[in-house]
Amino acid sequence: MTDFNVVAAGDRAIPAQPFVARHLIDGEWRTSADGATFERVSPSHGSVVTLASKGGSEDVERAVSAARSTFDKGTWSSTSGKERATLLLRVADLIDRERDRIALMETLESGKPISQAKSEIEGAADLWRYAASLARTMHGESHNSLGSDMLGLVLREPVGVAAIITPWNFPFLIVSQKLPFALAAGCTAVIKPSEMTPATTVILGELIVEAGVPAGVVNIVLGHGDPVGMAMTADPRVDMVTFTGSTGVGKAIVTAAAGTLKKVSLELGGKNPQVIFPDADLQDALDAVVFGVYFNAGECCNSGSRIIVHEDIADEFVARTVDLSRRVPFGDPLDPATKVGAIITPEHHAKIDRHVRDAAAGGADIRLGGSGLPVPGLNGQFYQPTVVANVSGNMSIAREEVFGPVLSVLTFNTLDEAIALVNDAEYGLSAGVWSDNVHTCLEFARRAHAGTVWTNTWMDGFAEMPFGGVKESGQGRELGRYGLEEFLEAKTVAMRIGRTRAPWIEPQTA
């Protein structure tokens, strides 16, 4: 009997030909100026699923020029909120229409389960609809109490050209957390998806063109961080960078953007704790812990990768976590029953394994998993659901993003101890607490250093609620009204009414 619930390869065929992805520049689909291309090999099936143009500095130059001149002409920024909202809603409808096609490419490139990919595409369409509502309701301020001879206005204006740089773990969802908000604000954009997952951003580009968004408003350049992302970040014609990815690259972007003092918005990593008190509904908590750590194979900034369990219940809770982990369906991402798919690259697979080996060498206890997971019939890389107990707060597995299906278990006795463990981290993205006592939950919510706190739940997100991190988890917010604010500048207009201004220098009298 296998220790795990492995979903073997089914008979679902992958497309015979790879998806061909090109840059979208000024409304046209283009190959790279130097003709370079690259391939994406599916992490679950081991075959080439995408053939993409590989951008260089000339392609970035053309895309930024298009975004800049389109913005400066006012082609998009001077349209009414009603017009922008109409187009954003049209894109949302097209995303719904193409849901299955987008989800298939998302799964083939990222290795995530097809059922999850479909939900993410539905969630993305909802973000386009929400952003449309912001395009129509966005407004500034008026100040009518500055004195009888003054009226003050605060206008909200688009920042300008936004560079959007996205990672491989939620390619379609993350671009949809940024782009529709940028468009609602009136910005133009140049997007660079991760070179591991270019296809679905290209499909989004097709839908944007079909919806009738004017040429030059949305531009896409495919390729690597070096040189594409770096050139976008340094270009003086780009007004802001919005980035999701690793904290290391986030810091490099801040440094590069400093040369032209761009606005920078960053969604970075997390080492997100769930604290479990004995009075919680332990069945609910258990399910959320397993969901929190294995969702997207743990390749998730919000991964609940460490739990902090009260000592009175720790042994039983860990034993039940191990049992439930064995039941999670891991394997063929194209099977609708699968909950956890493949790991993004062989290199990342090796990095996950290194974290687990180092923890074991440092005295931690591998209660479950701890190595690769062969999936019959597939030629990709998968990792076993892994539970590591006896972890102390100073071990790297308790502090660093493993970005894999690996749970670290720590324990506590008092609320103060739990909060100290939660806050003893470089990251501050999200945190959770499980208790039936509302006072415990509220005190935890107030004291945890995190951009989001969940009480008796995990990873619920809403278009209306802002998302982002504190400390090294980032700066700025996505979603909600705050998500729109990132793409807006405030312009103050002070208007004198009548000729009441006292002269600074008295005029000469004749």
Binding site for ligand NDP (CB under 6 A): 165-169, 192, 194-195, 224-226, 229-230, 233, 244-246, 249, 252-253, 267-269, 301, 348, 401, 403
List, by residue number, the catalytic residues. Answer: 267, 301
Give whole-number Cα distances, 398 to 292, 302, 340, 424, 470, in Å: 15, 15, 22, 10, 18
CA–CA distance, 74 with 56 (Å, rounded to integer): 28
Nearest Cα neighbor of 428 from 402, 452, 393, 400 is 452
Nearer to ligand NDP, 192 or 471 (CB): 192
CA–CA distance, 247 with 364 (Å, rounded to integer): 26
Give whole-number Cα distances, 496 to 144, 147, 507, in Å: 12, 10, 19
Least distance (Å) from ligand NDP to the CB of residue 434?
24
Least distance (Å) from ligand NDP to the CB of residue 391?
18
CA–CA distance, 483 with 476 (Å, rounded to integer): 8
Nearer to ligand NDP, 249 or 288 (CB): 249
Least distance (Å) from ligand NDP to the CB of residue 220?
12
Structure tokens at 418: 């739990």
Least distance (Å) from ligand NDP to the CB of residue 163?
9
| Buried b or exposed e, range 375-412, using 16+ CB within 10 angstroms | beebebbbbbbbbbbbbeeebebbbbbbbbbbbbbbbb
Nearer to ligand NDP, 179 or 268 (CB): 268
Nearer to ligand NDP, 165 or 220 (CB): 165
Helix axes 114-137, 171-185, angle to 10 degrees: 10
User: Cis (ω within 30 of 0) for the bond into 227?
Assistant: yes
CA–CA distance, 300 with 179 (Å, rounded to integer): 20
Nearer to ligand NDP, 194 or 384 (CB): 194
240 touches 162 (CB < 8 A): yes
Least distance (Å) from ligand NDP to the CB of residue 195?
3
Least distance (Å) from ligand NDP to the CB of residue 259?
13
CA–CA distance, 438 with 459 (Å, rounded to integer): 19
Nearer to ligand NDP, 262 or 367 (CB): 262
> Which H or E run contains 454?
strand 452-455
Least distance (Å) from ligand NDP to the CB of residue 183?
20
Nearer to ligand NDP, 190 or 280 (CB): 190
Alpha helices in 98-188 (DSSP H): 99-110, 114-137, 171-185
What are φ and ψ of residue 19, in 5° steps? -70, 135
Q: What is the DSSP string of 28-77?
A: EEE--TT--EEEEE-TTT-SEEEEEE---HHHHHHHHHHHHHHHHHTTTT
